[in-house]
Amino acid sequence: METFQNQIIGYDGFVEGPQCSPDLTPLDFLWGHIKGQVYATPPRTLQDLRRRITDACASVTPAMLHNVQREIQSRMSS
């Protein structure tokens, strides 16, 4: 927290809304994957944090995006 002047998102921060909320956007679903990769271990520097975010975003596959789409469609019909 000191390294990034309390501006990082992660660890035991506040959680907004229930996980199964039907108004979640596709980015909300992907955030769990990206956050897990970025914060697997604490970033050492701002450059390390930036690299991890870039790498995590690049790791999103077409199959993951397809699963997100299916999940949203499922929630919309429930």
**pLDDT tens-digit readout, 9-59:** 555 554 455 555 555 566 677 888 899 999 999 999 999 999 999 999 999
pTM above 0.75, yes or no: no
- Going by the DSSP 8-state scheme, the letter that residue 45 receives in this structure is S
For 55-76, what is each residue's pLDDT tens digit?
999 999 999 989 888 877 777 7
State the distance between the two ends of the chain, measured CA to CA, in whole angstroms.
Answer: 40
Q: What pLDDT shows up at residue 69?
A: 85
User: Which three-class secondary structure state does DSSP give residue 31?
Assistant: helix
